[in-house]
Each structure stands twice: as C-alpha cells, then as structure tokens.
Structure 1
Amino acid sequence: MIDLSGKVAVVTGSGRGLGKGIVMKLASLGAETIVSDIDDRSIQETVQEIQSYGGKAFGKACNVSQPDEAEEFVQEVIARYGTIDILVNNAGINRDAMMHKMSVEEWQQVMNVNINGVFYMMQPAVKVMREKESGSVINISSASWQGNIGQANYAAAKAGVIGLTKTAAKELGKKGVTVNAICPGFIETDMTRGVPDHVWDMMVNKIALGRAGQPEDVANCIAFLASEQANYITGEVINVGGGMVL
C-alpha cells in the first residue's frame, strides 16, 4: 500500500482533466496537496472535492510560463509547508497546426508552457530537494514526443521535457532526488471527449488494450514514482498508454 502521509505534493495544471485526477490520487494517499492552475474556479472546485472526502488541499493560481510567477509560487508553498517533496509538472497546452501554417505565436505559446514552464517550476523546487537530499519530480511528457502530424510545437516541447528529465536525473541523483517522465497515451478527459466520434474510434483502435485511458491510470503510476517504493528509479521515461506505443 502506497502511503504519502506527510508528503507535500505540488501538481501543476491540476484544476481539471488529467491533473485533477493526479492531485486527487495523491491526496487520497495522504499527501498534503497543492492544486495549481490558471483558473481560480477550477482550483477551488478541486480543492473542495478533495477536502470533502477528508483529503488535504490548498489551491493557488500560477501561470507556469512566467518565471517570476513560478518562483513566487514555489516560495509560497515552501513558506507555508516548509518543503516540497513531490513535484508533478503536468500543466500543458496545445495549439495544433501543420508546420507550414503554424504561427510564431502558436509555437511560442506551447513552448512557453510545455517546456519553459517545467524548467521554471523545477529550478526553485529542486533547490529545496537538494538541501534535504530527498524528493521526487515527475514530468508529464507525451507519446507525441516522437513526432505527430500537426504538432511540431507540442512534440518538440514534449521531447524537450524528456531531455530535461534525464539531465536533471543525472544532476540530482547523488542528492537523493529522483526525476522521471510519464508519457500518457490517449486519456479520456473533457478535451479528448470533444473530438469527433470517428477520431475517437481511430485513436482507440491503435491501443492494444482496446480502450482509452483514464486519468487514474496515469495517476496510479505517478503515485508509485512519488513513493518510497520507487526510490531506486530515476531518469526513466514510462509510457502509460495501454500499448498505444509499442
């Protein structure tokens, strides 16, 4: 049984969707959770839902693409709780377009959130983890990191997340800090449920297990990586996609 009691866990982009599933899972295992997103309403709804079943949660808005805002957010968490034990970098956006039609703004928006934002959150958080010589960072990449039509910006950013993860694992290993990346496949969220039926069927047909994933499928893997049971696992890239990528 995974027990995260006493651990302080930050999950970015956790007001809804996949991030919400992750933060709720960590809270259910006893962690003190910090719900972070850019939308105050979704933050408070998630915090209240966690608290309704006895979980521990605090919410604060943060735009991870802004370095000063990310730094201020991390410092407030440390001031409030004294530390950060678990950091899940989940916040992400997509602005899909074929490369020859993609605007510079669409490129930069995705880069600013999906890769820069991961660095902006990690840099201040790992400082406290280095000092106490413990901690777990889990970065959400994507199966699209290997390339996907219409996602030059998204794929490049998610590939960058993997490079950043492996570099951080090498830098932080001797300090007792683990850093891993998760590559979710086709996960059922409000966003994916909005695709046309024929696209949904096409995606599910690519999956060996024959179904779309649930946020909890990803959250279960993250909970393990955040636990003491995974303290000898670092620098890994784990596909959680039901066999979509084989």
Structure 2
Amino acid sequence: MNGKVALITGGATGIGKKTAEALAASGNHIAVTYRTSEQKAKELVTELEGKFGIRAFAFQSDSADESNCNDLIECVKEHMGTIDILIHNAGPYIHERKSMADYSSEEWNYLINGNLNGFFYLAKEAVLLMREKRWGRIITLGFERSETAPGWVYRSAFAAAKAGLTSLTKTLAMEEAANGITVNMVCPGDIYGGWKERSIEDAQKETDKDVPVGRPGTGEDLARMIAFLCDSRSDFITGSVIPVTGGKDVLGKIYQD
C-alpha cells in the first residue's frame, strides 16, 4: 500500500483520526477533512508527517454540501495528485430523540445529504481516478444490521440514510469489481466518547458488562478493520457489510436509545 493516497472524511477526530493513523502507519499519504475542528486537523497532519514520514493535508469540507465535495476532490487532486482510497467516515447525527414527524425538512435533508448523498458526490469522482490505475479501495460506515433496513426508533433520518448507503455500497462494489476497486462497509458497535480515540490495549484493561467480549470498543478496533480492507491482498472482499461490535446487539434496545 506504500505511497497510495487515502482521503478520510471527518478524519480530524474520533474513528476517522484512528483510521488516519492506521493507514499512515502502512505508508499511505493522508488527506483528512474537518468541518469545525481546524486546530485538531492541523495537529493531526503535523503528527502523521513527523511520525510516519508521509505527506498529509487537512481540508475544510462539509459532506452534506455538493459544492464543498466537488471542491474537496479538486483540492486533493491538486495537492496529492490522485485518490486511491476513500473512507467516508463523516456523517451528521442528531443525538436528540425525535420521531420522524418532529424532524424539520432542514434537519432531515442535512442528515440524508451528509450520510448518503455526500458519499455519492465524492465516490463518483474518486472512482474515475481509481479506474485509471485499475485499483481502489472504498469504505463506508454504517450501523449494525443496516443491510436489513431495520427500523430504528427516534433515528429515522439517520437509519434511512445509512440503509440507503448500504445498498449503494453493495451496488458500487458490483459495478466496479472489474476495475480493481473494492467497496465495503464497516459497522461500529457502541463506541462512546473518548473511546473513539483510545487504543485496544487501553480497552483490554477495562470491563464492560454490556459487551459480550467484556470490554469497551475503540476507534482502533474500527481502524484495524478498515486498514485490513484497504490492503492489496484484500481484493477478494467486496460488497461486504462487516460488524465490529464486540458481539453486542446494538439495536436490541432501540426503544431505550
């Protein structure tokens, strides 16, 4: 994978940050996007360049805005030449419990655009660059059982967007397989707060009785899976929806969520 260019949306913090670290450790050049976390994004790219000797850039972008996405692709091409790996990690989420009827049109459209349409805006351009090399890796993030289009009480917009994204992930995988491009989805379990930037080693020292494996999930758990899927030798895995949940039934308490 050495020398390939990875674009990670929402890569300045959380799971995106851990993914950037994992891919940089494999010798990939890194482009991360941020919406408001400018200082953290700048600190991350400085750290990645110093620690791993790769090139890294941070770009401000909003995945819900088509013109922002188009500008982002052009900026990455200008500064880094191409895109070999696309990780669509960014995606707005409303924590407030709201029934579908309580969403405003603006809230609904922002969640759909950021989680589903934003991927379309970016992937349709990235795929063209990947086809030229007949090699590419595209990873989306979903939620447990999103491939079954389950109901998720008080999360209607997010669930609808991710269910649509799951179908699009599978479709794109079939369309681009002959071009050497794999497309997969990784579905996180419950990874709370600071654990998104913690390590597996940290988590193995803790206990979480709500998770069958007995410990909290971390951003590193997701980053390791994503890095594995981006490896050249993972070319036989495409169109897959892979849960990384520690065995927890994330949707099992949907009425309490």
User: Where on the TM-score scale, by shorter chain, does this alignment land: which range?
Assistant: 0.7 to 0.9
2: CA distance, partners of 1:91 / 1:241: 19
2: CA distance, partners of 1:26 / 1:156: 30
Shift of 1:54: 3.1
Partner of residue 179, structure 2: 175
Partner of residue 19, structure 2: 22
2: CA distance, partners of 1:54 / 1:133: 27
2: CA distance, partners of 1:143 / 1:135: 25
Partner of residue 130, structure 2: 129
Q: Is the Cα contact below 8 Å between 1:189 and 1:215 reproduced in 2? A: no
Partner of residue 198, structure 1: none
Shift of 1:100: 3.2
Q: Is the Cα contact below 8 Å between 1:207 and 1:243 reproduced in 2? A: yes
Q: Is the Cα contact below 8 Å between 1:213 and 1:241 reproduced in 2? A: yes
1: CA distance, partners of 2:133 / 2:226: 21
Corresponding residue SS for 1:233: coil
Could you list the runs of 5+ residues in structure 2 that have no partner in the other structure? 198-207, 251-257
Classify 1:221/1:88 alpha carbon distance in 2 versus 1 (closer, same or farther; 3 Å): same
Q: Is the Cα contact below 8 Å between 1:144 and 1:158 reproduced in 2? A: no
Corresponding residue SS for 1:53: helix
2: CA distance, partners of 1:233 / 1:245: 24
Q: Is the Cα contact below 8 Å between 1:15 and 1:36 reproduced in 2? A: yes
Classify 1:214/1:191 alpha carbon distance in 2 versus 1 (closer, same or farther; 3 Å): closer
Shift of 1:188: 3.2
Could you list the runs of 5+ residues in structure 1 that have no partner in the other structure? 194-203
**Which of these residues, 171, 187, 209, is aligned with residue 191 of structure 2?**
187
Classify 1:239/1:139 alpha carbon distance in 2 versus 1 (closer, same or farther; 3 Å): same
Classify 1:55/1:20 alpha carbon distance in 2 versus 1 (closer, same or farther; 3 Å): farther
Shift of 1:91: 0.3
2: CA distance, partners of 1:101 / 1:69: 28
Shift of 1:190: 4.0
Q: Is the Cα contact below 8 Å between 2:14 and 2:196 reproduced in 1? A: no
2: CA distance, partners of 1:224 / 1:245: 24
Corresponding residue SS for 2:59: strand
Out of 14-23 and 45-54, give the one that drifted further: 45-54
Partner of residue 36, structure 1: 33
Per-residue displacement from partner, 1:6-40 (whole Å, max 9, x unpaired)?
A: 11111000111111111111111111011111122
2: CA distance, partners of 1:205 / 1:118: 35
Classify 1:16/1:55 alpha carbon distance in 2 versus 1 (closer, same or farther; 3 Å): farther
Per-residue displacement from partner, 1:219-241 (whole Å, max 9, x unpaired)?
A: 00000100112011110000011
* Residue-pair matches, total: 233
Partner of residue 200, structure 1: none
Q: Are 1:5 and 2:5 counterparts?
A: no
Give me the TM-score of the superposition, normalised by structure 2: 0.84
**Pairwise CA RMSD:** 2.0
Identity %: 37
Q: Is the Cα contact below 8 Å between 1:144 and 1:155 reproduced in 2? A: no
Shift of 1:48: 2.1
Classify 1:144/1:205 alpha carbon distance in 2 versus 1 (closer, same or farther; 3 Å): farther
Q: Which amino acid aligns with 1:28?
A: A
Q: Which amino acid aligns with 1:5?
A: N
